[in-house]
Amino acid sequence: MDEWRFPGRATPPGSSVYYSIRFAPSGLRDDLARLAGWRHEIAAIPDTVSDPVVALRKLDWWREEFDRTLAGAPRHPLTCALAPVLVRHRLPAAPFLAIAARAEAEIRRHEPADRPALEAEEEGDLGALFELHARCHGLVDADRLARVRRLGGFCGQVERLRDAGRRLRAGRPVFARDRLAAAGLLGATLATAGARGRLVPLVAAAAAETRDHGALIAAADLPACLRIRARLAQRLLAELTAPDADVIDARIALTPLNKLWHAWRESRRRPAAPQ
């Protein structure tokens, strides 16, 4: 059984990626799921491997495996399934390598210097996956692909905020370095005296900036699967910014039924003409 088809290991029922691909053209779903599988496997390395040296070695193996895939000699079941997808849609290597580069930054605990650097990090991760999905839909226009990456970056910022507590406890960055410095929190952890109280306003400010950033991205002419991810991210962001929300001590998520409803509503919208 191919665990990388849809639904599968990287696209489990109930997840946002599941509902976005569920409303994609049926002939694309397996290809989109396999591309999501690449990001799933790469992004899992910082989450599942605690030793940075071992994590970097594992990441290097995946990079070498991608080179073998491009050369027509994949070994892993995922890359064996991905190889024809790359050829069928003429996918460039850059987005795959960008996802790996973001994972390396996570392993090395790299802190983005400022807000633009944080946005660029997310565009190189989920934004890169969005680009690959857009290309599978036939998008090649540079302007539209740039908007696709920004849209993915917005969704990535929402995920970063959703996981703020887990990331902070693991010593992984949530905020830009300049914001931490302004709050007197450089090098601070949740265990640092007074840090928790100073982190709450940072979460609120980051959420507001993320919301404003997403509102500026024109997405009406993009494929439904990407619009669905963005709509679900917007709904999640609303939950994260509710007055009683606690993203530091709890993981807030939309219910599967809520996701299904918003995914269906977005899928029914008639796409706008390309801008």
Rounded CA separation 260/266 (Å): 10
Reported as a pLDDT band with limits 50, 70 and 90, residue 107 is: very high
DSSP letter for 127, please: H
Domain ranges of the chain: 16-267
What pLDDT is attached to residue 174?
Answer: 95
Give whole-number Cα distances, 146 to 97, 98, 131, 226, 261, in Å: 17, 14, 8, 13, 28
pLDDT at 61 over 80: yes
pLDDT at 259 over 80: yes
Choosing among 1.10.600.10, 2.30.30.140, 2.40.100.10, 1.10.3470.10, the CATH entry for 16-267 is: 1.10.600.10
pLDDT tens per residue across span 189-233: 777 878 888 888 999 999 999 999 999 999 999 999 999 999 999
Over residues 27-47, mean pLDDT: 98
Q: Is the entire prediction scored with pTM above 0.85?
A: yes
